[in-house]
Amino acid sequence: MAEFIQQRGVELSTISPSPVTTQPPSRDESPASSVRRLKDQRAEAEASELPPADRGLQAWTFALNAWFLETMIWGWSFSFGELNLYLATHAPFNKSSLASIGAVGTVALAIQYMLPLALISVFRRYPDWARTMLWAATFTSCGSMLISSWASKIWQLILLQGVLCGISGAVLYTPVLIWLQEWWVVRRGMASGLIFSGTGVGGFVFPFLLNSLLEKVGFAWTCRVWALITFVIFGGCVATLRPRLPAVKPAVRGPWVTRGTNFSFAWHPTVILMYFITFLSSLSFFPVAVYLSTYVDSLASSLSATTVLAVFNAASVVGQVYVGYLSDQYDKAWIIAGLGIGSALTAFLAWGFGDTLAKVFGFCILYGIFSSICSTWNAAARDVAGGDLRISTTVFSLFGIFRGIASIVGPMIAASLYDEKHRDQDDGVWGRYGFRGIMIFVGSMALASAACGFGLRATKHIKTQ
């Protein structure tokens, strides 16, 4: 909610420092030239003091902090299928519809995907307030989770865990998107894959943790324990997360959007195709992430549903890292097309004929690997932005908006296609337990994203105007 390929542009850390001279300017040098020379010397001196990009303790410390934030923010969101099962079968929330229960998690996901684009402008306009905003988001997230332990209506959970936790999660995660471009340049695809793998790790561990807590202490105390855990981890990350480039408080804050600003990159053919690819692949992904536990619960047991959800999220770790590595090495068009075709085949075959737990496990592993479309975003942003970090970050966030929209639309469509009358019926050879329509939808959207992936080949050599 992922660069061994050399980027265009010059990275500050690669500028070799030159000695700063202290001799007075020549008599023939104008005052303006003297000022420019002194500014250049100061810039060179500051560049020589920056920590190196793509290597070193500080770069890896940033990556570790970003990984923890990724794990806690996104790992929790992708483990909400476990909470769906519990809320649907326990008072006072069991009288709510499946769509409204699922909305708690999908609203949070949508906000976390869509809000960073606006937040990036806020962080860049007020860099001196970054630390304050991060601490405010930490207290908002943990406080909302704590208060939700006393919720008795599903709308209260949507407000507290969906809206407020979603907003605070987006605020906490936005610096990762901005500062990743500073700390990792040549190896950004690899770093992105490693950071994004936190979603899979959290998605593997958290379902078991949540299942254990829900069974032993119930929903209310699970929320309270989780609020404490997140406060400790978020607090540690906020205290140590740092940008590579020093934050400078502007003397005069300019307008939010400067007249004449060139936004042509947002309509670059590669970016437009990536909008469609992200939206279609996400329409395929989120119904599986949200309702897979319900399918397995009909097939086997709630414990099996927890295990399958965990395996599904763990498989995405492999996918995110490997796809991130491949995006540094090979043409993203073939990678995206392969991901879409692989996702479609696993949905139609492994899930469609999934009449045993073993077949469903196979589907979870394969689909989890093939659904790693987010690890291609950095490669697409790099191809359009070149060495411009601002454009690269903005393009990445634009893709997140389309994934956020799909995180709401996909599960809503899936809920309308779900045949609850056949929830406990093993009817037919293909498409059991009322999921036939969902399986067709998931596979079709994956195929459509593969078709758009092939179209990326035609945009490979188009440059931004």
pLDDT tens digits, one per residue of 213-226: 998 999 999 999 99
Decide if 33 is inside a domain. Answer: no
The rounded distance, in Å, linking the Cα atoms of 450 and 447 is 5
List Cα–Cα distances, 413 to 1, 10, 128, 437, 443, in angstroms. Answer: 19, 46, 43, 10, 14
Decide if 403 is inside a domain. Answer: yes
% of the chain residues with pLDDT over 90 = 28
Comparison of pLDDT for 315 and 234, the residue scoring more: 234
% of the chain residues with pLDDT over 70 = 82
Token readout for 281 is 């692949």
Decide if 228 is inside a domain. Answer: yes
What pTM was estimated for this model as a whole? 0.73
Give the dihedral of Cα atoms 360, 361, 366, 369; nearest 10 deg. 130
CA within 13 Å, CB half, 329:
8
Decide if 18 is inside a domain. Answer: no
The rounded distance, in Å, linking the Cα atoms of 412 and 434 is 15
Q: H-type helices in 115-187, by residue range?
A: 116-125, 130-147, 154-157, 165-183
What digits encode the pLDDT tens for the residues 254-300? 565 544 456 777 788 888 898 999 999 999 999 988 888 888 877 77
Decide if 20 is inside a domain. Answer: no
pLDDT of residue 422: 63
List Cα–Cα distances, 180 to 62, 122, 389, in angstroms. Answer: 8, 17, 10
Which residues 6+ apart lie within 8 Å of 423 measured at CB?
294, 298, 433, 434
CA 116 to chain CA centroid, Å, is 10
Question: How many domains, in total, are found in the chain?
Answer: 1
Decide if 49 is inside a domain. Answer: no
Minimal CA–CA distance to 200: which of 42, 309, 111? 309
Comparison of pLDDT for 419 and 401, the residue scoring more: 401
Q: Which residue has the tokens 């890896």?
A: 60
Spatial contact of 215 and 83, defined as CB atoms under 8 Å apart: no
Where residue 326 sits, what CATH number does that domain have?
1.20.1250.20
By residue range, what is the domain housing residue 333? 57-247+265-459
The rounded distance, in Å, linking the Cα atoms of 366 and 338 is 12
Comparison of pLDDT for 248 and 395, the residue scoring more: 395
Spatial contact of 172 and 153, defined as CB atoms under 8 Å apart: no
List Cα–Cα distances, 105 to 84, 252, 423, in angstroms. Answer: 9, 40, 22
Evaluate if residue 419 carries a pLDDT over 90. no
- 158 burial (CB, 10 Å; 0-12 / 13-18 / 19+) is buried
Decide if 19 is inside a domain. Answer: no
Comparison of pLDDT for 151 and 102, the residue scoring more: 151
Token readout for 107 is 């609203």
Decide if 253 is inside a domain. Answer: no
Round the average pLDDT of the chain to a whole number and report it. 80
Minimal CA–CA distance to 124: which of 263, 14, 255? 255
